[in-house]
Amino acid sequence: MKLAVLKETAPDETRVAIVPETVKKLVSAGFSVAVEAGAGERASFRDETYASAGAVVEPSPEATLRDAEMLLKVRPPSAAEIDLVARMQKAPEGCMVLGGLLPLRHLDCIRALNERRITAFSTDAIPRITRAQSMDTLSSMANIAGYRGALLAALELPRYFPMLMTAAGTILPARIFVIGAGVAGLQAIATAKRLGANVVATDVRPEVKEQIESVGAKWVGIELRKSAAVGGGYAGELSDEDKARQRELLAEQCAQADAVITTALIGGTFAPRLITREMVARMKPGAVVVDLAADGGGNCEASEPGRTATLGAVKILAPLNLPASMPADASTLWSRNLHAFIAAFTKDGRFHLLIDDEVLRGAMITHDGEVTHKATREALGC
């Protein structure tokens, strides 16, 4: 069975879906792997390294995809890539795409995949259960985003993170407020703490209080009238009453903070607006907001996704695709996640469609001309 890896075409994308160490494992399991020339260049993986690992390095997307039965991706395939997959596949019912499709954000892509009867798996839809942890690209990339987010805050803040005792006197530590205690939030807390900051954090799920404290932050929160946990480590919408009480807490904490790092996503996809312009206006002069939910629209009203904005004397950073700023490690983790998914359903050098399997069925977005993912189907009106 042939697997294909293309060069990612999005201008801001530096990652590659499969790295050489994974190529070796796939070839050992009986797969053939074709990699487009230059696919790993921006992540510091050279064509020669892929070749020595057992991959066939092809000069073009067409050659890479010829007779391939599964395309491995980081980002959703472009319209041109989908057309190529449809033309190059051996059999329409046998062609598959595996990657981070984020289907609710890329409905046109899902529609195109479905129309061409391509079976698509999205790693962000994999159930968040123990058995599937090694396949979880969302967690892998969120770890990087949280780490980089804390570093960005430290770089942009016009003061030290740690307490420093000098001959000129003592500099007190910066106060960092982290909103959201998923993987990105916990990593942001841990990184800010390692840098010596005084860290406080909140989450609408009070059950994560222990996790927040375990990585060195002080937990602050409200007592919810209704639980906001929706399972799988995700938070859902709050009631109107709880939203009002949460706004009061956020306003109070933002006013005290030197830097605010926001990481809140509903269902791991869309960002609720939590920080108003009024809250930002009340922050200290020179304070910084790092909106790590910018890919989902942003948690801060003043955020401009992909840009750095200012409101009064406060700087608001809204970086997009932060994992691509660390392409070598991000690609390695992504590649290991994809390998774990493929390996779970491999026998005798082939990937088997075990439709009744909980993990495979959860990750499946389209199959045999049908949108199988419930939320995506509803969004498309199927």
- Please say if 136 is a catalytic residue: yes
Neighbouring residues of 88: CB distance < 8 A, sequence distance ≥ 6? 62, 65, 66, 67, 68
| Residues 359, 353 contacting (CB under 8 angstroms) | no
User: Other CB atoms closer than 10 Å to residue 193's CB: what's the count?
Assistant: 18
For the chain, percent helix, then strand, then coil, each to nearest 5?
Answer: 40, 20, 40
Residue 120 is given by DSSP the state E
At 24, is the secondary structure helix, strand, or coil? Answer: helix
Catalytic residue among 128, 245, 361, 377: 128
Identify the active-site residue in 89, 117, 124, 136.
136
Is 133 catalytic? The answer is yes
* Among 122, 139, 187, 303, the one annotated catalytic: 139
In the three-class reduction of DSSP (H, G, I as helix; E, B as strand; rest coil), residue 59 is classed as: coil
Query: Three-state DSSP class for 55?
Result: coil
* Catalytic residue flag (residue 160): no
**Residue written as tokens 């530096």?**
14
Active site residue 42: no
- 137 close to 124: Cβ distance less than 8 angstroms: yes
The HSE-up count of residue 342 (CA atoms within 13 Å, CB side) is 32
Q: Output 203-210 pairs: Cβ under 8 A, ≥24 positions apart.
A: 203/179, 203/235, 204/228, 204/235, 204/238, 204/242, 204/246, 204/264, 205/181, 205/229, 205/235, 208/181
Instruction: Tell me the CA distances in angstroms from 203 to 175, 181, 195, 264, one per residue in order.
Output: 17, 6, 22, 8
d(CA 289, CA 126): 31
Residue 34 CB partners (closer than 8 Å, separation 6+): 2, 3, 4, 5, 55, 56, 57, 58, 63, 64, 65, 68
Contact predicate 157/258, CB 8 Å: yes
Q: Please name every residue paired with 317 in a beta bridge, in sequence order, or none if there are none.
A: 290, 308
Q: Is 225 a catalytic residue?
A: no
So which residues are the catalytic ones?
128, 133, 136, 139, 234
